[in-house]
């Protein structure tokens, strides 16, 4: 009879997964009305880029300051969003998880 070994994920991996999940929750609550937030869904608003494609346009890390200070766009249909720094980092972690 063989020995079964259970390996627990390391703390940094669990923390990263938790941060990604928090970002996913924020994206679904605040962004999914217009943007595709999954790996294969279509954006409900065709002009809104899917989140999975944002990393091809620019480094998503560059959004940290805008997310914390308030994202404003030139079109009236996008509301202004302002997240606290932890929320902004969680949303960025979620965006980075879509790059894989």
pLDDT exceeds cutoff 70 at 6: no
The pair phi, psi for residue 62, each rounded to 5°, is -65, -15
Q: In sequence order, what are the beta bridge partners of 81?
A: 71
pTM score of the predicted model: 0.80
For residues 88 and 2, the model is more confident at 88
Q: pLDDT band at residue 74, thresholds of 50, 70 and 90? A: low
Residue 91 tokens, joined? 């949303």
């Amino acid at each position: 009879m063989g020995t079964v070994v259970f390996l627990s994920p390391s703390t940094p991996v669990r923390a990263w997964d938790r941060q990604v999940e928090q970002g996913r929750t924020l994206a679904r609550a605040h962004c999914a009305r217009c943007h595709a937030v999954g790996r294969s869904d279509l954006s409900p608003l065709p002009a809104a880029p899917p989140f999975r494609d944002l990393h091809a346009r620019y480094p998503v890390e560059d959004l940290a300051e805008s997310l914390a200070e308030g994202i404003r766009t030139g079109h009236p249909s996008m509301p202004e969003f302002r997240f606290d720094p932890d929320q902004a980092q969680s949303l960025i972690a979620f965006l980075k998880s879509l790059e894989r």
